[in-house]
A and B are shown apart, each in its own frame.
Chain A
Amino acid sequence: MKDEKIIEMFFSRDERALEEVDKKYGDLIYYIASNFLALKEDREECVNDVYLALWNSIPPTKPASLSAYISEVTRRLAMKKSRSSNAWKRGGEVKLVGEELLSMLDDGTDLSELYESRRAGELISKFLLSRSESERRIFLMRYFFDMSPRDIAKQMHCGESAIKMRLLRTRKKLAEYLKKEGIMV
């Protein structure tokens, strides 16, 4: 079923909307939750929270892209849950993702002012739009969907090392871009 139709069903309060979401995006929701949460129970609870959040937020929200909206909702709920329970996956992989990103910024700049999250997000979006689709995809798989380089390599049909290399390059380019935008000195 097309996303537009599913959204229409949400708006008409048709409960089958959730079934359709589950059919089309159930695997993705569980997968994103799994990337952040180690425990099966946490994942399943997160998935339930996602469905509830979708039901409660559509309407009034009318997502331009249902897959993006679902991804964002899932990610936020999974991160919230992982933070609240301190349930970092795999001994701190989420933390590792943060450290990777931060390593490029560790030049003594006062980041507390600079990283107002919305502005940073906008700039990163702008930067990503200037990159190739595959570069964007790899970056977001890693830093938005929290996928491991290993899993990204599977999805992209290339070697894990190639993924790491490209992530490194993208991070360096992003750092240069942010500097140009005045984010870094």
Chain B
Amino acid sequence: MKNKIFNDTRLLDAMDHIDSSLIAETADKIRPPAAPKREAEQPKTGRIVIAWKQAIALVACALLMGAIIPAVSMLVNSILPTSGNSGTASDFGAAAGPISDDSDIMFYRKVARRTLDNGWVYTFTREGMKNGDDSELFKYVFYGINIKYKYAEKFGGISSEDNLETGYLVFGVGSDAEKRDAALISSILSNDKTDEELLALNPDDYTFEVLDKSMFFELMQEALTGEAQAEGKDPNYLDKPYFAFLEEEAYTDGYKFQICSLNETGIIDELFIDILYKIGSGEMDYVQLSDLVASGEATAEQTEVYELIQTITRDIKENTSYIYNSGSYREKTVDGIDFSRLYGILDDMHNNRFEDYIK
């Protein structure tokens, strides 16, 4: 039966009769890569000359969610983003464990992550199909992303750059040394490897120039030997973009909120809420609350604000809801910081209104 129908291609033909408004809705959202350049030619209509446009480079969407220079470092052996600020990630604060047999999910994900104080989040993911056919997947993904600093200048001038071999993307390779590290990791994580082969690797056989080699191999070990991650329960959270770096449009009363969130399979993997205090007229003239606290320069009131933000962050992640217990905090004002403004953003995130923040 299946072959008969398929040979008739009727089901595919049915897609020719999809409502045009739906097609338009999707077509308008597709960001196709630039078509290859081609010389102008005389088409079949005779006199009509189609002026093929110049290929427009697909700009890595540094603009996504307001990021100017995405704080993304390495994304190795992953196919995910054409932009500088996407990737894949997974569990943090979510219930982990094997996926039950009655699950309708046909794949599993095993994840290990390190979140550093400077905002860098490094993740190793092992992804596979439950039926064992991993041929369509990138089984192994390693990447780093910065969830604290929007501007590269704030963390050392790392730029973003797409690279390189087909099927491999490396972002944030700001130096040749980083590129060499990324290329080495790409070679280590080739898809034809098995878990056992990776686990048997001797770290001493490899030399990393920039990246913490121990961390890489530890994360790989943890992910490959760990349990599969459970998925989120709220379907609304399946709609979240993987990476969102949001901020208020303008400084009001001398500050604005900034939020970075990583989401995957219905889980809020990571969330970083910060306050940017304006200290000058330039775009880069601000200090972040988290840095003031870390350096001991924060006032007692600012520290109170920071701790409140940590509580809110923890609640949100543990309960997989950007508006969890919002009633307790929404009306608060501490040290002149109006938390209703924070919840204005969190409400938008909860309701999937991310596009409003794209500049």
Q: Which residues of B contact A122 (CB under 8 A)?
A: 17, 19
B238 within 8 A of A: yes
Q: Which residues of A contact B43 (CB under 8 A)?
A: 18, 48, 51-52
Q: Which interface residue of B1, B18, B21, B81 has the most chain A CB atoms within 10 A?
A: B18
Q: A29 CA to B32 CA in the complex, in Å?
A: 9
Q: Which residues of B contact A111 (CB under 8 A)?
A: 1, 4-5, 10
B352 within 8 A of A: yes
Residue in chain B with minimal CB distance to A25: B27
Q: A52 CA to B31 CA in the complex, in Å?
A: 24
Q: Which interface residue of B30, B88, B106, B127 has the most chain A CB atoms within 10 A?
A: B30
A5 within 8 A of B: no
Chain B window 105-122, contacts with chain A (Cβ cutoff 8 Å), 1 for yes, 0 for no: 111010000000000000
A84 within 8 A of B: no
Cβ contact within 8 Å between B127 and A161: yes
Total count of chain A residues near the partner, CB < 8 A: 86
Q: Which residues of A contact B4 (CB under 8 A)?
A: 111-112
Residue in chain B with minimal CB distance to A149: B136
Cβ contact within 8 Å between A117 and B14: yes
Residue in chain B with minimal CB distance to A154: B82
Q: Which of B22, B32, B107, B352 contacts A165 (CB 8 A)?
A: B107
Closest CB of chain A to B278's CB: distance in Å?
29
A19 within 8 A of B: yes
Cβ contact within 8 Å between A128 and B22: yes
Q: Which residues of A contact B47 (CB under 8 A)?
A: 15
Cβ contact within 8 Å between A67 and B24: yes
Cβ contact within 8 Å between A108 and B1: yes
Chain A window 138-154, contacts with chain B (Cβ cutoff 8 Å), 1 for yes, 0 for no: 00110111010110011
Closest CB of chain B to A112's CB: distance in Å?
7
Q: Which of B5, B107, B241 contacts A161 (CB 8 A)?
A: B107
B34 within 8 A of A: yes
A11 within 8 A of B: no
Total count of chain B residues near the partner, CB < 8 A: 75
**A:108-145 near B, CB below 8 Å:** 108, 111-112, 115-118, 120-122, 124-125, 128-129, 132-137, 140-141, 143-145
Q: Which residues of A contact B5 (CB under 8 A)?
A: 102, 105, 111-112, 115
Q: Which residues of A contact B17 (CB under 8 A)?
A: 117-118, 120-122, 125
Cβ contact within 8 Å between B81 and A154: yes
Residue in chain A with minimal CB distance to B106: A168
Cβ contact within 8 Å between B27 and A71: yes
Chain A window 3-42, contacts with chain B (Cβ cutoff 8 Å), 1 for yes, 0 for no: 0000000000001001100110011111110000000100
Cβ contact within 8 Å between A97 and B12: yes
Closest CB of chain A to B87's CB: distance in Å?
8
B51 within 8 A of A: yes
Closest CB of chain A to B189's CB: distance in Å?
15
Q: A44 CA to B24 CA in the complex, in Å?
A: 23
Cβ contact within 8 Å between A137 and B29: yes
Closest 3 CB pairs of A and B: A121-B17, A31-B32, A30-B35
Q: A26-B35, A159-B89, A161-B109 are in contact. List 19 more A-B contacts (CB 8 A).
A: A27-B35, A28-B30, A31-B33, A65-B24, A67-B23, A95-B6, A111-B10, A115-B8, A115-B14, A117-B10, A124-B15, A125-B19, A134-B352, A136-B25, A154-B80, A157-B64, A159-B264, A165-B231, A169-B104
Contacts from B to A (Cβ < 8 Å): 1-2, 4-6, 8-36, 38, 43-45, 47-53, 56, 64, 79-83, 86, 88-89, 104-107, 109, 127, 136-138, 231, 238-243, 263-265, 352
